[in-house]
Amino acid sequence: MISNHRGENRKTLALAFPIVAGFLGQMLMGLVDTVMVGWVGVLPLAACAFANTILSVPLVFGFGLLSSVSVRASHAFGSGNPELAGESLRGGILLSLLMGGALAVTAHVTLPFLHVLGQPPEVNHAVGGYFLLCAWSFIPIFITGTAKNVCESLAKPWPPFWIMIGAVFLNVFLNWIFIFGNMGSPAMGLTGAGLATLLSRIAAMLGVLLYCSRSLTGIWPKHWLAPGLVAESRRLFRIGIHSAGLNLSEVTGFSIGSVMMGWLGMVPLAAHQIALSCAATTFMVPLGIGQAVSVRVSQARGSGDAEQIRPIIRGALGMTVFVMSIFAAIYLTMGNSIADCFVEDAAVRALTVQLLALAGIFQIFDGLQIVSSGALRGFADTKVPFFIGMISYWALALPTSWVAAFPLGYGARGIWFGFVIGLAFAAAAMGTRVHKKIRALKE
């Protein structure tokens, strides 16, 4: 049994590694913005945190919805019909265009009303250009995610990885130009970071689509507007909506926590942005493992090989605990060194260290719940995980955060304590659901 788990872990890691790296590439764009904007000052850093907090809600919802592309394409590949993945690509790109365009327009409509979220007036004034530019980058990042999901489902994850890495380096270079005013550009500060992000994401989209058109000739659609496009988009929407709801419940929990952090002032908000950026970056590892598990479970179900599913899931969960324990140890022992990389302000650094310690605790729970939800998605089981997410983040995490932060007076640490409670419950509930699915395979 142990050797079987090891063998499946190798296969899962072979798929998960480039997926993780691709996710990290996407996250590194935001992390690079945080680091480079932090060099400008605390106000731009706080405004960057505020914008990213709001934009993360529709962004993560969109990624959850488009996870249906991976489920459909993986099942088609496992059943010996890879050409059906082309339909998923068509439908996913239409969903990306509609969703990304609608969200970008919504950003313009909501910008004048951001002050109702109770942030400092100077933060509301500074956020505008960056907020809108990043909102328009939803279109290319969603299209990139769709094509990336298809490539991973067809066991070709490496090209999107290299393309994303190239986009990260491009983002650093463009940030250097537009934020600080190099090579003849005016110094645009935070707005320059938004422009660099938009251009880098467009470049990544063009790169992934070019690869698909030249290398995935068996699935690349010959007639993009052929009948069935709208029907496939609807099918993908029905499959992905509960995964999107699960993602939405988690990200809104963290986003509302971030809004509460803004009520405490710019220093807590800046420290929160740094700690959350670090936690979100290491979270890409279990997220990638969960995506790989979802693909492999979908493929096994498509091929009718139920016996393969148990070692895939159990091995992945054990691997996740091991990896996330390492990250937890790093956050608990190296908080000062990490904070020093982001900001010079002593108050922000001190609070960041405290929040990173709490991040180290919830990293393990977060990893377990996301890998478990990925396994359930491979079973096409998305409704129950959605309700688990609603209970975990809305009924447990947010009330605990508010009570601990304000009535009990623990401030920023109290808000993050609520995250720990919510994620612990999510990990336990998702794990129980997975265990029931595995037991059902034996019957």
Give the pLDDT of residue 3: 52
Q: Give the pLDDT confidence score for residue 281 in this predicted structure.
A: 80
Work out the mean pLDDT of the chain and round it to a whole number. 88
Residue 42 structure tokens: 């605390």
- Residue 124 has a pLDDT of 86
Mark out the alpha helices in 216-265 (DSSP H runs). 229-263
Q: What stretches in the chain show pLDDT beneath 50?
A: 1
The Cα–Cα gap between 331 and 352 comes to 10
Question: Do residues 281 and 406 touch, judged by C-beta distance below 8 A?
Answer: no
Rg, Å, the chain Cα set: 21
pLDDT for the residue 443: 55
Is 331 in contact with 303 (CB distance < 8 Å)? Answer: no
pLDDT of residue 32: 77
List, for residues 95-119, the tens digit of each pLDDT value. 999 999 999 999 999 999 988 888 8
- For 127, phi then psi, to 5°, come to -85, -20
**What does the pLDDT read at residue 196?**
94
**426-429 CB contacts, 8 Å cutoff, 24+ apart:** 426/250, 426/365, 426/369, 426/388, 426/389, 426/392, 426/393, 427/364, 427/365, 427/366, 427/368, 427/369, 427/372, 429/388, 429/391, 429/392
- If one counts every other C-beta atom within 10 angstroms of the C-beta of residue 248, the result is 23
**Nearest Cα to Cα of residue 349 among 274, 416, 286, 278:** 274
Task: Work out the burial of residue 291: count CB atoms within 10 Å of its CB; fewer than 13 is exposed, 13-18 middle, 19 or more buried.
Answer: buried
Please give the pLDDT value at position 283.
Answer: 87
